[in-house]
Amino acid sequence: MRNRPPTIGEYLLNKLESYNIGHIFGIPGDYVLRFYKLIEESSIQHIGMTREDAAGYAADAYARTNGMGVVCITYCVGGLSTVNAIAGAYAEKSPVVVISGAPGINERGKDALLHHKVKDFHTQLRIYDEITVATELLDEPFTAFNEIDNVLDAVFQYKRPGYIELPRDMVDVRGTLYRRASTGEHKSDTDSLNAAVRDAVKFINQSKNPVILAGVELHRFGFQDKLLKIVEEKQIPVVATLLGKSVMPEAHPLYLGIYEGAMGRREITEFVERSDCVIILGAFMTDVNLGIYTANLDRSRSIYATSEKISIQYHSYDDVMFEDFIDLLNSDKLRKQKKPNLSWIKPESKPFEVQPKKSITVKRFFQHLNTFITDEMSVIADVGDSLFGAAELRIPQHTNFISPAYYTSMGFAVPASIGTQLSVPNTRPLVIVGDGAFQMTGTELSTTVRYGLNPIVVILNNQGYGTERHLLEGTFNDIGCWNYSSLPTLFTAGHGFHVRTEGEFDEAMKAALDETEQFIIIEVELEKLDRSPALARLAERMAEEI
């Protein structure tokens, strides 16, 4: 007897396993219960969060570290609650698969007013068309397997979210296995590739002080080692965008720091903008990422290579794959640079001295925090000064810094820490989050308790939406006052600290590092209008547009 083909639900789970998916984040609901039962019976673990959007952020962070992430929710009340999280994953190129339950095909007759429906049965699908690279409704057994392949291939290739809608009466239907016609492999055109590499090598070899600007795609495509190899073999110094942060081990002698135009450290801005050859790899020209367009990078002295475009000065090259370009660029023909003098760029590294009685300031807080960061930590920064200040942290291991630096959606960090730690279990998350952002999703600490995770969550409490106060102040920037360090009472687990001075923070961090079994929350009380030097520079620029 021949083997029967799998059911649509089984096929989907098998494919996800082949993409290294070990966890699926989400909240069940009646339209997706049948598929949830299948997950429970599979080798993939379901991670129940408290809210669907938080499940989306967790899946996004998981995708950034694992190569793909999955969120699974019910129809509309679930799917429409993850829209913002998935939009953020689209904007920042994170390969997240959304699986939504849906009313059965056989229930859909006569425009029935089934619960959770909005305008018609395709409302949610059309909305996901706006924020994903591929959407499929699995309403037909003959095509379902190919449709699953289409979405997963697109997510993997473009590093953007995709959407699969699974009507509940299709979960257990057996699909049809057949070899579909190949859509053609994505390959470079050899002549274009050779021309691009030849021109790039020539341009770099003729330059006096080349520098690499490394961006987010190096994370997404897993090219961190390719970058490190070219940097070390050719002795080219490297800076990162904010979204690309931690693409290099940041203690590396050739890594200089974050380049973000007028918003960043003056020495780095100067070094990059005086370079006669800026090699931009996998970076997108976004506003916050590049200091609200204060970056000064003109095409006459740039090489620009991403998965979407390859250009050298004013020439663009079609049909050149990003990976092939990087691989061939690091050839014998590319000369090794003379050891550049970089000492003037690096920040003074005199050791931070704790002043125990001194009230904590944002600037010194990040210097202080830097002393605690180890190889075994993933740093996850929420938006606002949690992000701007964190730009100066030195992350020792690559890909151990995660933040929504372009889409900048508040409330990302606490749920993201869950996805990160499940994906990279040998690290401990260090979350930096403002009070306003924490109020949005901080109750996900409850989820860390359920699954035995142990993040250290530092809340920078400046009593409201701090970044906005520096743009336009009003009572609307105020928020409610929470006793954050009491949260362990609510969740009946964890430890809480409330600190005002450097000495208190020092002790709290040391206690946090000693307590490895559960979450730690450290509320850092700040002056309402204190801010990082980066935010001061940013706010000045942004306030002009308000």
Distance CA(515)–CA(495), nearest Å, equals 9
Residue type, 142: F
Q: Which is nearer to a copy of itself, 46 or 174 (CB)?
A: 46
The answer to whether 480 contacts a copy of itself (rule: CB under 8 A) is yes
Q: Which two tokens stand for residue 430?
A: 């260090």
- φ, ψ of residue 480 in degrees (nearest 5): -70, 160
The answer to whether 17 contacts a copy of itself (rule: CB under 8 A) is no
Q: Which two tokens stand for residue 229?
A: 């190899």
- φ, ψ of residue 283 in degrees (nearest 5): -110, 140
Q: Which is nearer to a copy of itself, 37 or 500 (CB)?
A: 37
Task: Identify the residue among 251, 481, 511, 529 touching a copy of itself (CB under 8 A).
Answer: 481
Cβ–Cβ < 8 Å for 508, 516:
no
Q: Site size for a copy of itself, by CB under 8 A?
A: 86
The answer to whether 453 contacts a copy of itself (rule: CB under 8 A) is no
Tell the smallest beta-carbon distance from residue 399 to a copy of itself (Å).
Answer: 23
The answer to whether 22 contacts a copy of itself (rule: CB under 8 A) is no
The answer to whether 472 contacts a copy of itself (rule: CB under 8 A) is yes
Distance CA(483)–CA(136), nearest Å, equals 45
Instruction: Characterise 223 by phi-psi region: left (phi > 0), alpha (psi -120 to 50), beta (else).
Output: alpha
Cβ–Cβ < 8 Å for 322, 306:
yes
Tell the smallest beta-carbon distance from residue 380 to a copy of itself (Å).
Answer: 17
**Which residues, in sequence order, are CB contacts of 7 under 8 Å at separation 6+?**
171, 172, 173, 174, 175
Distance CA(22)–CA(59), nearest Å, equals 11
The answer to whether 90 contacts a copy of itself (rule: CB under 8 A) is yes
Tell the smallest beta-carbon distance from residue 446 to a copy of itself (Å).
Answer: 4
Task: Identify the residue among 18, 182, 349, 475 touching a copy of itself (CB under 8 A).
Answer: 475
Residues 209-228 contacting a copy of itself, CB under 8 A: none
The answer to whether 91 contacts a copy of itself (rule: CB under 8 A) is yes
Cβ–Cβ < 8 Å for 85, 128:
no
**Stretch of 5-13, 120-128, 143-151, 454-462 contacting a copy of itself, by CB under 8 A:** 120-128
Distance CA(190)–CA(170), nearest Å, equals 44
Task: Identify the residue among 14, 17, 20, 126 touching a copy of itself (CB under 8 A).
Answer: 126
Residues 489-528 contacting a copy of itself, CB under 8 A: 489-492
Distance CA(510)–CA(307), nearest Å, equals 43
The answer to whether 285 contacts a copy of itself (rule: CB under 8 A) is yes
**DSSP secondary structure code for residue 134 in this structure:** E
Cβ–Cβ < 8 Å for 220, 159:
yes
Tell the smallest beta-carbon distance from residue 296 to a copy of itself (Å).
Answer: 16
Residues 145-164 contacting a copy of itself, CB under 8 A: none
* Buried/exposed code over 395-414 (b: 16+ C-beta within 10 A; e: otherwise): bebbbbbbbbbbbbbbbbbb
Q: Which is nearer to a copy of itself, 293 or 352 (CB)?
A: 293
Task: Identify the residue among 465, 497, 505, 519 touching a copy of itself (CB under 8 A).
Answer: 465
Task: Identify the residue among 14, 17, 20, 130 touching a copy of itself (CB under 8 A).
Answer: 130
The answer to whether 297 contacts a copy of itself (rule: CB under 8 A) is no
Tell the smallest beta-carbon distance from residue 94 to a copy of itself (Å).
Answer: 13
Distance CA(210)–CA(214), nearest Å, equals 13
The answer to whether 299 contacts a copy of itself (rule: CB under 8 A) is no
Residues 31-60 contacting a copy of itself, CB under 8 A: 33-34, 36-37, 39-40, 46, 48, 50-51, 53
Residues 391-450 contacting a copy of itself, CB under 8 A: 406-411, 439-440, 443, 446-447, 449-450
Q: Which two tokens stand for residue 457?
A: 């969550």
- 378 forms bridges with which residues in the sheet? 429
